[in-house]
């Protein structure tokens, strides 16, 4: 499906909301929540505490999208305040680890208390139904913003992230079916090069989904192992991966796509039907296959 151009009014509306919410939550104040530090440092305390045994600056840099120098300065400022402890990873001296000190835990607890009070005060101006509507709207916004931030990249079928995703996919199916071995997975060469493709979805540097395409015969391709990590499900990511696979198929001169799936994968079957795939008789004998689908591609097929 061809992506629609973002309208200027949509950009303006998003920016208006950003300006409003940053003002209301105190993001512009150098003394966020009255604790003597800006929002960036306060957020860093939260992120460090979220990892119970400490977290590396490298991980924080990827998760928060911060410049390495800026992040290092914030961490050192918190260390000088006695809020965090910075050390070298015991197994990799290239990694600097950050963890909260006892004082940091106390500070974060007070930070969370103050944030809860401020939020409750803000919501008091709404009725119960309005608060429910706002909560639902925020959940929708978070879901869509997460999806927007995820990137889908084509990788070699033998790439470490590709194989890691397939291993996770196999583990998922083993939990459902009782057994699903590496021999049931597509080979790297089948989903690489001119006749195949493999895509991995990344969220904050972490692989959270995948999907493969291989050629069955001239003009006919097959989708393999479309998978999304449990943490990233119900975002619409599987459809995005599917869009990339369809585009890759069209680029390779494939006009018909086929796939098989198991009866227990009801969500997958519903998605394929919604995306224009129709059920067909079995085209291949596979021990886990109960349903078979195909879709004729349009010459204008592009990724979402």
CATH of the domain at 269: 3.40.630.30
Spatial CA neighbour of 210 closest among 289, 264, 154: 154
Structure tokens at 298: 């349009």
| 112 shares its domain with 211 | no
Continuous H helices in the chain: 8-24, 39-50, 57-64, 68-80, 102-123, 128-149, 160-177, 237-251, 266-274
- Tell me, yes or no, whether 205 lies in a domain: yes
Look up the domain containing 218 and give its range: 151-296
Question: What is the per-residue pLDDT for 301?
Answer: 56
Residues whose CB falls within 8 Å of the CB of residue 163, separated by 6 or more in sequence, listed in order: 188
- Tell me, yes or no, whether 217 lies in a domain: yes
Q: What is the DSSP letter of 179?
A: -
| 115 shares its domain with 161 | no
- Tell me, yes or no, whether 238 lies in a domain: yes
- Tell me, yes or no, whether 1 lies in a domain: no
Number of domains making up the chain: 2
Question: What is the per-residue pLDDT for 1?
Answer: 44
Question: What is the per-residue pLDDT for 183?
Answer: 72
Spatial CA neighbour of 45 closest among 102, 84, 80: 84
Length of the chain as a residue count: 304
Question: What is the per-residue pLDDT for 302?
Answer: 47
pTM of the predicted model as reported, rounded to 2 decimal places: 0.83
Residues whose CB falls within 8 Å of the CB of residue 42, separated by 6 or more in sequence, listed in order: 32, 33, 35, 111
Contact 295, 255 (CB under 8 A): no
CATH of the domain at 51: 1.10.10.10
Question: Per residue of the chain (304 residues), what is the pLDDT tens digit?
Answer: 445 788 899 999 999 999 998 888 888 888 888 888 898 999 999 999 876 678 999 989 988 888 999 999 999 999 999 999 999 988 888 889 999 999 999 999 999 999 999 899 989 999 999 999 999 999 999 999 999 999 999 999 999 999 999 999 988 888 887 777 767 788 999 999 988 999 999 998 899 999 999 999 999 999 999 999 999 999 999 999 999 999 999 999 999 999 999 888 899 999 999 999 999 999 988 878 899 999 999 865 544 4
């Amino acid at each position: 499906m061809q992506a629609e151009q973002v309208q200027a009014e949509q950009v303006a509306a998003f920016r208006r909301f950003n300006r409003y919410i940053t003002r209301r939550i105190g993001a512009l104040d150098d003394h966020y929540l009255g604790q003597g530090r800006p929002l960036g440092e306060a957020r860093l305390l939260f992120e460090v505490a979220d990892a119970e045994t400490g977290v590396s600056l490298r991980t924080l840099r990827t998760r928060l999208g911060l410049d390495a120098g800026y992040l290092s300065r914030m961490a050192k400022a918190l260390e000088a305040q006695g809020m965090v402890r910075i050390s070298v990873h015991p197994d990799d001296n290239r990694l600097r680890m950050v963890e909260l000190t006892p004082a940091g835990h106390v500070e974060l607890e007070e930070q969370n208390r103050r944030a809860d009070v401020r939020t409750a005060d803000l919501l008091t101006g709404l009725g119960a139904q309005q608060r429910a509507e706002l909560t639902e709207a925020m959940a929708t916004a978070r879901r869509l913003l997460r999806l927007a931030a995820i990137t889908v990249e084509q990788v070699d079928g033998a790439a470490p992230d590709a194989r890691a995703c397939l291993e996770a996919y196999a583990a998922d199916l083993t939990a459902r079916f009782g057994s699903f071995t590496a021999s049931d997975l597509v080979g790297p060469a089948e989903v690489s090069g001119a006749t195949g493709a493999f895509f991995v979805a990344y969220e904050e540097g972490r692989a959270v989904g995948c999907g493969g395409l291989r050629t069955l015969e001239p003009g006919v391709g097959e989708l393999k192992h479309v998978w999304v990590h449990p943490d990233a499900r119900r975002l619409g990511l599987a459809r995005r991966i599917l869009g990339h696979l369809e585009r890759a198929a069209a680029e390779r001169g494939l006009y018909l796509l086929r796939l098989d799936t198991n009866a227990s994968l009801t969500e997958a079957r519903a998605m394929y039907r919604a995306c224009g795939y129709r059920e067909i008789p079995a085209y291949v004998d596979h021990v886990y296959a109960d349903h078979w689908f195909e879709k004729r591609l349009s010459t204008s097929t592009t990724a979402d």
